[in-house]
Amino acid sequence: MTDTVTTDETFVHPALFYRTELEYTQQTVSFLREGLTAGEPMAVAVPGPNLELIRTGLGADAEGILFLDMTEAGRNPGRIIPRVLRGFADAHPEGRVRIIGEPIWAGRSALEYPACAQHEALINAAFEGRAVTILCPYDEVRLAPDVIADARLTHPTLISAGREVVSDAYDWEAVVSRYNTALPPAPDAAVFSYGSEQLPEVRRFAVAQAVRLGLAGQRLDDAELAVAELTTNSVVHGGGNGTLAVWAEAGQLVCEARDAGRLNDPLAGRRPPEHGQLGGRGLLLVHYMADLVRVHTGDEGTTVRFYLTL
């Protein structure tokens, strides 16, 4: 971190642009060895093949580092902050923690990408003023130029070809709002309008539709819980009523709640609650159990969609 002045309370969030496996391994291993020297708790959450590169590169030094396959732990990018990053950082409150997080890989779909970019942007808000270092590798060869351009907005520092520079494009809020795009209704969705009186009924409607579309077992229980949270949010915070739509697309079940409310807190659903805290778990639960969550919010209302692979 040669170009960055760090204090005990500074959040450090560089993007690492890499072009080869060798460069990836050298840069990530050197980053982790710095942490080993400093005695920092460390976690690595990257796609499986890259996990192996890092493990092999570290050899015996890999012991004591938490390794997570990001394609599972971070399948839904909306749960990476609460579950992966804060999960690790909050468990190590003494001193600086060091994490490698690679939430965007070449296989991410066009549907997932906006949520991925917003996640990268929101990391800056979630960790402001905390003694945490999160290095985010980007595959400059296989990712689209737009993705690389967004990484320059979501990361205050950039590492490329071994050099670290301050990003002159850094503007994470611009990325949050750019991907806050309208979610057009699905033409073949089954739809149910609800107010507080219909909360049990809309939940049962969602279960029936999910069963019809092929969801079963724990995923079905999860869908019921998630629908209950979204529809209750509409009734309590979103103007008192809303519309639920359920459909299937590309092998996934989609449930969507629309209401007249507005989400003013960009980190809603991404803060792990205190153990004895009464509220604040509804949207978090949706993020934990879904494979993807997409949100659009504005003056005209809020739409929250979750996807479960069938």
End-to-end CA distance of the chain: 44
Which one of residues 201, 249, 265, 300 is an interface residue with other proteins (CB under 8 A)?
201
C-alpha 251/C-alpha 244 separation (Å) is: 20
Stretch that binds other proteins, among 16-24, 129-137, 204-212, 254-262 (CB under 8 A): 204-212
Q: How far is CA 207 from CA 102, 121, 232, 256, 289, in A?
A: 34, 34, 16, 13, 16
Return the residue matching tokens 């990361």. Answer: 155
Query: Please, which residue, 1 or 228, has the CB nearer to other proteins?
Result: 228
Nearest to 18 by CA among 122, 138, 116: 138
Three-state DSSP state, 306: strand
Nearest to 167 by CA among 190, 192, 150: 150
Question: Does 236 interact with other proteins (rule: CB under 8 A)?
Answer: yes
Stretch that binds other proteins, among 38-46, 163-171, 232-240, 295-303 (CB under 8 A): 232-240
Query: Please, which residue, 145 or 279, has the CB nearer to other proteins?
Result: 279
Point out which residues pair with 256 in neighbouring strands: 245, 305
Question: Does 177 interact with other proteins (rule: CB under 8 A)?
Answer: no
Contacts of 172 (CB under 8 A, 6+ apart): 120, 121, 122, 124, 125, 153, 154
Residues 257-296 that bind other proteins (CB under 8 A): 273, 275-276, 278-279, 281-282, 285, 288-289
Number of residues this chain uses to bind other proteins (CB under 8 A): 33
CB of 221 to other proteins, least distance (A): 5
Stretch that binds other proteins, among 28-36, 137-145, 153-161, 228-236 (CB under 8 A): 228-236
- What is the pattern of x (binds other proteins, CB under 8 A) and - over residues 102-131? ------------------------------
Stretch that binds other proteins, among 36-44, 129-137, 206-214, 237-245 (CB under 8 A): 206-214
CB of 145 to other proteins, least distance (A): 38
Report whether 252 contacts 36 (CB < 8 A): no
Residues 207-226 that bind other proteins (CB under 8 A): 207-208, 211, 218, 220-222, 224-225
CB of 133 to other proteins, least distance (A): 27
Half-sphere exposure of 296 (CA within 13 A, CB side): 15
Query: Please, which residue, 251 or 279, has the CB nearer to other proteins?
Result: 279
CB of 232 to other proteins, least distance (A): 5
Query: Please, which residue, 1 or 213, has the CB nearer to other proteins?
Result: 213
For residue 33 the two structure tokens come to 């060895």
Nearest to 259 by CA among 205, 227, 209, 297: 297
For residue 180 the two structure tokens come to 């806050």
Query: Please, which residue, 49 or 280, has the CB nearer to other proteins?
Result: 280
Query: Please, which residue, 125 or 207, has the CB nearer to other proteins?
Result: 207
C-alpha 44/C-alpha 178 separation (Å) is: 29
For residue 296 the two structure tokens come to 């659009």
C-alpha 96/C-alpha 41 separation (Å) is: 8
Binding site for other proteins (CB under 8 A): 196-201, 203-205, 207-208, 211, 218, 220-222, 224-225, 228-229, 232, 235-236, 273, 275-276, 278-279, 281-282, 285, 288-289
